[in-house]
Amino acid sequence: MNTQTKHSLMLMLCAFIWGTAFVAQSAGSGMGACSFLAGRSWLAVLVLIPTVMVFDAIRRKSGTDAKPKTAAEKKKLLAAGFVCGTLLFAASAAQQIGITINPSTAKAGFLTAMYVVLVPVFGLFLGRKGSAQLWVSMVVAVLGLYLLCMQNGFGGVERSDMVLLLCAVLFSFQIMAVNHYGPQVDGVRLSLRQFFVVAVESSVATLLLEHPAPAEFAVNAVPLLYCGVMSSGVAYTLQILGQRDLNPAIASLIMCLESVFSALGGWMLLHQNLSAREVFGCVLIFAAVVL
């Protein structure tokens, strides 16, 4: 199996886990957004610590070593973990708040998928040229958003829609940060440090804003375990590893499949339905993402 195929499969599995995690996040929407994020992030850290050790053992057998050796390499990894982690905290908090306000997995999945359109747009500010195809996709995406979110015209935008659009913007920055730092540092170590930063920042936000009871974590144990172990620990590591040596456009296209899996998960597991107008809006957004 060649490198591109292997990395594409990593990102496809990542998209499946992320998409089905919307169901778990919706199930856990009864507790505070920062509390839920803190719980899943500390679980991710606990999973990733032995994961780093396993990867190191495998590499030692093959005669390689991914540990940062120089002060410059350690500083680079520290900076990468802080930047990617802070952006992931902000994006994930916005996403969980949006789902807490309105637990529709389909809408949350499709609005979050707008990062695939936003990444190339923000790339224009970094000197990357945009094509006519990019601008057509933006028009189609905006039309889809109108049909999906604005049931009663411009006055019908829900607060959760605006929060989820902010989430898409923040995820765009996080993806660009991973594209920047990913090739420069060890991917599994970056994932661990990224989630340590998320865990610390979300814990501080929890103590300042929410003060959850321990019983809340027990009641939401299953959603927390799935999001912490699979969505955070496994899927984000797959994202960092899968984006290496892969065309960013192809990577974004594969990861956008999370929106499809989120809609299917909400339909099959939560029995959530969308109106014909909302379905058409979802189709247009996905078409823009594919384009």
DSSP 68-116: --SHHHHHHHHHHHHHHHHHHHHHHHHHHHHHHH---HHHHHHHHTTHH
Q: How many CB atoms lie within 10 A of CB 105?
A: 28
Specify whether the CB–CB gap between 160 and 29 falls below 8 A: no
* Residue 74, amino acid: K
Q: Which two tokens stand for residue 159?
A: 């607060």
Give residue-wise pLDDT tens across range 214-235: 888 888 888 889 988 998 888 8
CA distances for 137 relative to 15, 69, 134, 202, 265, angstroms: 21, 44, 5, 34, 26
* Residue 220, amino acid: N
Specify whether the CB–CB gap between 179 and 122 falls below 8 A: no
The whole-number average pLDDT for the span 91-104 is 80
Whether the predicted pLDDT of 265 surpasses 90? no
Q: Which positions ≥6 away from 153 have C-beta within 8 Å?
A: none
Distance (Å, whole) CA 69 – CA 17: 33
* Whole-prediction pTM: 0.81
pLDDT at 170: 94
Q: Which positions ≥6 away from 42 have C-beta within 8 Å?
A: 199, 203, 228
pLDDT at 198: 96
pLDDT at 82: 97
The whole-number average pLDDT for the span 104-123 is 76
Specify whether the CB–CB gap between 220 and 250 falls below 8 A: no
Distance (Å, whole) CA 46 – CA 280: 41
Q: How confident is the model at residue 91 (pLDDT cuts 50, 70, 90)?
A: very high
Tell me how far apart the terminal alpha carbons of the chain are, to the nearest angstrom: 27
Whether the predicted pLDDT of 257 surpasses 80? no
How many CA within 13 A on the CB side of residue 140?
A: 18
pLDDT at 149: 67
Q: Whose structure tokens read 């940062």?
A: 68
Q: How confident is the model at residue 156 (pLDDT cuts 50, 70, 90)?
A: low
Quote the radius of gyration of the chain (alpha carbons, Å): 19
pLDDT at 127: 75
Q: How many CB atoms lie within 10 A of CB 6?
A: 13
Q: How confident is the model at residue 154 (pLDDT cuts 50, 70, 90)?
A: low
Share of the chain above pLDDT 90, in %: 21
Backbone angles phi, psi at 211, to 5 degrees: 50, 65
Specify whether the CB–CB gap between 120 and 134 falls below 8 A: yes
Whether the predicted pLDDT of 28 surpasses 70? no
SS3 273: coil
